[in-house]
Amino acid sequence: MKASAFVYPWDVNGDPEAPARIAALGVDQVTLAAAYHSTRALTPRHPRHRIVTAEHAAVLYPTDARWEGRPLRPYPAGDWAPGDAYGEAAAALADAGLEVHTWVVLAHNSRMGAEHPDTSVVNAYGDRYPWAPCIAQPATRAYLVELAAEAAVRPGARGTELESLGWYGLAHLHAHDKTAGVGLGDAGQYLMSLCFCPDCRAGYAAQGLDPDELADAVRTALEPVWQGAPSDGGWPGVEKLLGETKATATRAWRDDTARTLQEAAVAAVRAAAPDGFQVLLHADPVSYHCGANAGVDPAHILSVADGVVVPCTGGAGLLTPFAEQGRDGAVLAANFTVVSGMGGRPGTLAEDAARARALGATELRLYHAGLASDGDLAAVRAALNGS
């Protein structure tokens, strides 16, 4: 199967050996960050540094004139990725024979939430999630669609992978999270991720719900959870906590909001891209799930994008709902963490990839060539090169 490794520009720029080292893994492609959230990243082989601190969500290339006069606009990177860091790294990787695709993180931006707090998701208690832009708000949607088009279609890129193109919620992630004291479970996470900003309140009203009554119902449903009651059980658990009518109406609003944003973003990328440009989404096949792997309806998203990148480190079962669509030519990329210190299992990559292929995977994604140790990379080389 075709394999791609995730890479940051700072893994490559300033390290002349990086492109050849990545190519030697046996990958065909790199998925190179062009727009990324704040992070602190290890660079264990770089000749100039060992830790890179990206202080805020930023684009890793110079923006163009489309953003002039717009209150919501992407932030330039600081000294962790100066100038056209993406372009410099992309050129070096292409010179090493690697196909370069962009990696674009969208609805995950804590700086925007800090500077424009009204853009953030607001939970039923009135707490804002500054890392999570509300994708129902027209100005935020316009920003995300424009960012997708600009960041995805960089010079020389053959495709893109759009991450967090959907709802963000409580679980993923804020700086130095300390939110695990109560086991919220799948249902509790959903209720704590419901947004009550003015646009979402209007959306619930359009579904026949009184938003004040809904917020009160969410708080009432969660009270036993704070006291230790379980809140698992998937969607039936949500219906049990909130009531079937309210749960269904909230999901209808949120599903439609995410679907239409995904359609608009993919259309904007296609309009800006050359023929043959591949558009994939990082996706979870359960539409009410939040996070970097946005919840989607498998049939719908495979009618919009060229395919999906699916998290498979904990098992490849999430591939099945996409494979069941039987869509010829769709890319189903199984994404495996290959950093042992982050829960990856590079030593079993060959076996894991074989299981993923049996479940419908057509490609592999490896997270992450820059973060992995030398031992982890050696295991990846062995798996991909059959040694």
pLDDT in tens, 241-266: 999 999 999 999 999 999 999 999 99
CB 320 within 8 A of CB 351: no
**What CATH number did the domain enclosing 280 receive?**
3.20.20.80
Distance CA 105, CA 151 (A): 9
Residue at 224 is within a domain: no
Q: Which two tokens stand for residue 114?
A: 């800090």
Residue at 241 is within a domain: no
Residue at 99 is within a domain: yes
- Of 111, 123, 147, the closest CA to residue 37 belongs to 111
Q: Which two tokens stand for residue 253?
A: 């609003």
Distance CA 193, CA 231 (A): 14
Residue at 231 is within a domain: no
Q: Residue 355's CB: how many other CB atoms inside 10 A?
A: 16
Say how many domains are in the chain: 1
Distance CA 306, CA 284 (A): 15
Residue at 72 is within a domain: yes
Which residue numbers in the chain have pLDDT < 70? 172-183, 387
Residue at 65 is within a domain: yes
Please work out, in degrees rounded to the nearest 5, the angle formed at the alpha carbon of residue 7 by the alpha carbons of 267 and 348: 105
pLDDT of 182? 54
Could you identify the residue written with the tokens 């997270």?
Answer: 367
How far is the CA of 174 from the CAs of 73, 182, 284, 292, 386, in angstroms?
21, 17, 20, 12, 39
Percent of the chain at pLDDT exceeding 90: 92
Q: What is the pLDDT of residues 151-199, one digit of tens each?
A: 999 999 999 999 999 999 887 665 655 445 556 788 999 999 999 999 9
pLDDT of 241? 92
Q: Which domain holds residue 159?
A: 2-179+257-385
pLDDT of 176? 53
Q: Mapping DSSP to helix (H, G, I), strand (E, B) and coil, where does residue 305 land?
A: coil
Q: Is 219 exposed, middle or buried (0-12, 13-18, 19+ CB in 10 A)?
A: middle
Q: Which two tokens stand for residue 28?
A: 């065909």
Q: What is the pTM of this model?
A: 0.96
Distance CA 16, CA 5 (A): 18
Residue at 235 is within a domain: no
pLDDT of 386? 84
Residue at 314 is within a domain: yes
